Amino acid sequence: MSATDTIRSYFNAFNAKDTEAMLACLDAEVAHHVNEGQVRSGKIKFAEFCAHMTHCYDENLTDMVIFEAEGGTRAAAEYIVNGTYLATDAGLPEAHGQTYRLPAGSFFTLKNGKITRVVTYYNLADWIRQVR
């Protein structure tokens, strides 16, 4: 399986709201770099993050473009996050079903067909503006 195939499987699982399928794409010691947050290590922390996100947000990714570096050990994706803010997340504006549309990008390192590093970026100030 190519890096592009792995990343596509990861995002297809995201859009299907299938955390187990996302976890299957990850290395056991995955380093998850959250936008403007701390690095979380391992699948357990990743699953906890996904549970929190599913509680607070309903998101679907569209306009996906995946890039793969020669050798297949690094990849990136650019996409649009289409979401609904379901439940207030700590330190953020109050949720009452606001919708948002936000460009974002993710960067990946892969080893033996598994994702060992995920870094995601989006403009938090833009998101806050949209949900206020």
Residue 6 contacts residue 30 (beta carbons within 8 Å): no
- Kindly report the CATH number assigned to the domain that includes residue 64: 3.10.450.50
In 3D, which of 63, 58, 30 has the Cα closest to residue 44? 30
Report yes or no: 24 and 113 within 8 Å, Cβ to Cβ: no
Q: How many domains does the chain have?
A: 1
CA distance 14 to 22: 7
Residue 1 pLDDT level (bands cut at 50, 70, 90) = confident
The pTM for the full model equals 0.95
The distance from CA 90 to its chain's CA centroid, rounded to whole angstroms, is 19
- pLDDT tens-digit map of 64-119: 999 999 999 999 999 999 999 999 999 999 999 999 999 999 999 999 999 999 99
Range of the domain at 41: 3-131
